Amino acid sequence: MATDRTRLVETLHEEEFQTVAQLAAALKIDKATVAGHLQQLEQDGLPLQRDGDSGFRLPAEITPIDAGGLIDELEKAAFPYARQVEILDTVDSTSDWLSRQQSGGADIHGKACITEFQSAGRGRRGRNWQGSPYCHLMFSMGWRFQKEAVEMTGLSLSVGVAVADSLRSLSGAPVGLKWPNDLWCYDHKLGGILVDLNTASKPDTQAIVGIGINLQEPGLEHFDPGQPVTDLSSNAQGELPSRTSIIAVVITAVARSLDRFGRHQFGCDRERFNALDVFAGRRVRANSGETSLEGMGQGVDELGRYRLCFSNGSVETIISGDLSLSLVDQQPSA
């Protein structure tokens, strides 16, 4: 059921200004509640326009996720967990929400948590990942693997392949992958993938895969990913499908990727990852603490470890952890 905050966004129009009193009457809630939601939405980054006593409007069409439409599209795509999808108006982090569900005894295998806004979204190495409400794709999915943690190498890379290919198909944009967990487009960050593993139920491993994608961001300056940022609408070749349709396609692709990884691990995705590698054949800097190496990007090996070729012809394989990669002609990034 839609919250008052979501219903308020649905009631705001691009064509006309509406006063707090008009919005309260339309929603059948009190004016103080409407005013409070409007204030919080502005603080969260929703691009509201004010016109004195005339009230508020949205400068562009911003549409909340259609929950019923999403379930219908997921079922048409044969997504087996369509009825387990949870859509939240706002949450600290979709991954943390799923983790709390799991800690409470819930089975989160195949369960997806989608939100319109994350107040404490996480990127790699603790970076902030927070976009304007009702403008992005932000979700996490739980998955149980009959594998130990040592067998999970390359999971984020396999998921990245599925997401990148989905976005390329939906938008025509040349979405690529920056090892180990970023979606890139024209040397700007488009989104990210964060995998949390829980090995408490050995020999099984529980994974929570969090994904954030900038779809149409009115305030890119709000982001702090440590590198240039872009969104999908700025790079699309034509009009994008609705957010609801994009989410349905991406979630289905991620679930299929997780299922495939459970059977074949990363090996079946290595070739495609290397084809999407934005560092391939380019001069790359690897940073770890005060140590820095420079070489030509050579893609990943069968375990998902990145390879750098140095001027003397030697090749060194590197793993993630506290290490980061960046193009030599850009500032070091996360």
- Across the range 233-256, mean pLDDT stands at 96
State residue 149's pLDDT score: 85
Q: How confident is the model at residue 332 (pLDDT cuts 50, 70, 90)?
A: very low
Q: Among 20-29, 89-98, 221-230, where is mean pLDDT lowest?
A: 221-230
Range scoring the smallest mean pLDDT among 38-42, 202-206, 302-306: 202-206
Look at residue 252 in the predicted model and tell me its pLDDT.
97
pTM for this prediction? 0.89
32-36, 48-52, 185-189, 259-263: which range is least confident on average?
48-52
What structural domains and CATH numbers belong to the chain? Answer: 4-57 (1.10.10.10), 67-275 (3.30.930.10), 279-327 (2.30.30.100)
* Least-confidence region, from 32-41, 118-127, 296-305, 312-321: 118-127
Q: Across the chain, where does the E strand assignment appear?
A: 49-50, 56-57, 86-88, 112-115, 136-145, 176-178, 182-185, 188-198, 205-214, 283-288, 291-300, 306-309, 315-318, 324-327
User: Is the pLDDT at 128 greater than 60, yes or no?
Assistant: no
